[in-house]
Structure 1
């Protein structure tokens, strides 16, 4: 997102935002119903927080050494070099939810080609923080103060973003409060029903995490955020 003053809304109809929120709720209900059907009769299943495969490839991101399982679907703008397979480029994963297992070799399909019963998450790790990670929550609060906000899924608040592409509706879902918290930006094209969301955050150890996901997962934003951060933590070399 570009920095600068938030433009005033021009010609934005309240109904546009209502349609986006309503569509998100319908998709979430459908996802929960299909997931419940898939799990019925199978008993409880473990949800691994991260990989445990013994055959690992080492990648370097800034000062960090990450241990990537050989079977993981991962790509990098700078492929690993040298005997230790290290790279300084950002790493991109495709993971299925909720197993966080490899989900194919094409990170570009993230959040847009997911099956409803097993959404695909695109995860990118970098040693350089995206400046938008620090601005999106402030932008959402600024829009809310000028135009108001509405209830969103999972206890989040929601605002529609004024202006932009007329063929795409954008909303920001954020955690209410006086301190920066959870925030995700979601888009829906008028040509398709799917809603795609992206979240950017700076981890405390200096790594920058960006992940893209299907909007049906937004009601479970807290669990999703927590498990992906655990996944990244388990990649770090001990």
Structure 2
């Protein structure tokens, strides 16, 4: 089998939200003390890998959580609610942290992201980014000169469909002009990105580790599937 196109997830795959310690300046826990390293790590988990986050929310917010990547306003509302549920209760603090989530300056590419995209571009292999996201990620690619290396950005909030729904993978393949069976999907979530298997695509899963701890996973996945 020859891979003729590659689909990538965004968060935890090509880029990762990398925080600075200054983010938490002035943030106090429920006892009025500065948040410790463990509490800071939990807040970052909620922003970057929010598995099980909705358990802390009201029934109404849990329903909203399921649809958050379809509506920017809903996304903001539910993320602010979950940050408050995690103890970020100071006036305006949850909103401030949420704004960091949307700032391209804090989204860092993995060490091999640009090389992988360049090598695919040089080889004439079309690329689409397929993301469950509620804000325009173009600015993150622009910041690193990577926009020209991506043929399509398929974002859930613009398309009205989220992974693992097969429709979003079919849409990406259609825009690239390729058969899904000739496509490799690389992502960090078996649940979401693994949905590409339902349309016949090959799926490779990478770990959403901090960028410094994952230097070659994308290149390794592309090499393992004979793309590079």
Greater fraction strand: 1
Q: More relative contact order in 1 or in 2 (CA 8 Å, sep 6+)?
A: 2
Q: Same fold (TM over 0.5)?
A: no
> Which has a greater percent of helix?
2
The TM-score, its normalising length taken from structure 1, stands at 0.22
Q: Could you state the TM-score of these two structures normalised by the residue count of structure 2?
A: 0.23
